[in-house]
Structure 1
Amino acid sequence: MTINSKSTKTEILAAYKEIEKQNKSLEAEVRKGGLTSKTTNQVIVEKKEVVTVKNYNNDISATIKSLEQIQNNFGSAVSNLSERLISESTKLTTIRNAIAQEKSQLEQLHKLTDIEDTTIDTLIQQYQANVKRFTEQLNQKQEESQQEIETLLEAWTKEQETHNRLVKTRDDEYRKTQQRQQLEYEYNLNLERNLNQEEYEQEQKIKQEELKLTRTTIEKQWQEREAAIAKQEQDYSEAQIKVSAFEEQLKAKIKQGKEEGTGIGNYQTKIKTELRNREIIGETQNYQLRIEDLQQIIQQQESRINKLSQQLDTSLQQVQNLAVKAIEGTSNRNSFEAMKAIALEQAKTQIKNK
């Protein structure tokens, strides 16, 4: 049995017992061989065997010493092994917890109910299949996008070529138009320069006559406008005079109207005052009559209240008498309550009649 640093306590003890057993067996065989050797050959062989046994005994002694040393260090080895066992147990617990957590995460992530030994392999295969499918879809999308970009680029290139061609055509037409206009301008300029001097003078004369006629017309219009302004100024002066005279007449009429209005107002005020005094006298008499009527009504009510008070006192006295009789034995408690209710009802009725 091979013993190393990773051997357990049980393995070390088993190895020790096995070596000890072999040692005892060898010692017994040595003793037995020494007693039965009698011939010379046997002696020679015995000598050889003794040498061998001695060497073997030396090895056994060394082994025993080693085992004793191992036994001496056995306690510390056991302690170290215990510590390692505890450490390994802690690691095992940690690994088990991590495995349980990973299983829980797998259940939550992939919605798994039963986790088996092949679950991870199945998930990996599904993941690889999804990766392959997504990669194919991505490649397809990239190809489609690339094709679309190439189509758009080709269309843009054609559009750009068309635009450049249109711009070039427009520039050519503009340049031709400019050249044609320049030629026409030079032709007209040369034509004007080659006009006959007489025609030029005739045109100048016509322009002078037109200018003179225009000046005469403008002067005539100015004269007519000045005459109209002078007439407007005269009309304005006459209107101012009329306005001044009208203001004097208006002041006189206002003064006369005020005097006449004062007289009329005094007369109307006098009439209104007399009518108001008569109304006040009538209202005073009316209020006086109403006061007298109210006083009479109050007196009647007071007289009625006094009568009702007397009737109430009489009724209460009667009720008290009937109650005394009921208490004395002529009636029971129910009759007393009924009489009391009747009395209270009569009292309420009398109070309402007030």
Structure 2
Amino acid sequence: MQVKSDSRILLDWYKLNARDLPWRVRPCDRENGLKANPYHVWMSEIMLQQTTVAAVKKYFEHFTQNWPDLSDLASAEEEDVLKAWAGLGYYSRARNLFKCAKTVQLNHNGRFPEEEARLLKLPGIGAYTAAAISAIAFGRHAAVVDGNVERVLSRRFAIETPLPALKKEVKELMGELTPDEHPGDFAQAIMDLGATVCTPRSPNCLICPWMDVCEGRKLGIAETLPRKAPKKEKPLRRGMAFLVVRSDGAVLLRKRPDKGLLAGMSEPLTTPWSVDAPLDDLQLAPFTLDWDLRDELVRHTFTHFHLEMSVYTASVAQDFETPEDHWWSSPSEISGEALPTVMRKAVEIGCRA
């Protein structure tokens, strides 16, 4: 049967070409007695959501050095987890990572469930992540579908259905293709194929193990797949950031609300963001000070909107009274604060000489 042949071809390719990643157990590693670590698989999959492998490596290594196993992470302080996550983006993932660790520790005796259905009940674990953990960490048959899988299979079978409707067809195909033996290897193989050979632009078809069976290549449409529905234009929101800088160089920070965008993260004082918010209304300043407007705007893009923020700075004396729940962060401490990227940009612009 062609489906089984496709699977065998790809597994043979993966055995020779699997990427060496810090959270991965390759076929050659397994032959030397190593087994997948569910904690590592889970953490890497959460980190890899909407983030590149290159960006995740150093965060994964930092987290596993600070919290070597699930019980360590479950007993950590949430603020420390958020600080360690700063710069990786999509901060709800960090909060859910912490919640999930505590849930597994308290309700599952520190062991991740093996079944997709039970994994789906854990904080921060969706359909893709549940399938990936089940297949990769526990060797259970599961259809693992991410962007790489969608691209590879849409090309292999010349599926012209546009995203997001394509996802259902790919899920069914992945279920048929995934073998009962080493399903985790197969999932990682097809993701590696998409990341290294069947790339979004200029796929290297000449070295692809599925070159001879790829319908997209035969029809000359491989590089145009997967088809995508037209994107909606993102709105532009605006706001203002106010950096209060003490005479010793410390910056005044506060914690964002526990719910909503960037929940629980640190920030300098800012105004709410909206499409009609001003960039230069000092009546919105938190204090009556001699504010200096910086020439550079903070520009940042979130999933659903673009943001522009003007940055104002003001210098104050050591005895400046601060509101409750605000704190001073010294120049030596600021890098360790749980500042999301957009707020770190504001601080850098405001503190620039």
TM-score (norm 2): 0.13
Task: Kindly indicate which of the two structures has a greater share of residues assigned to strand.
Answer: 2
Q: Which has the higher contact order (CA 8 A, sep 6+)?
A: 2
Q: Which has the larger radius of gyration?
A: 1
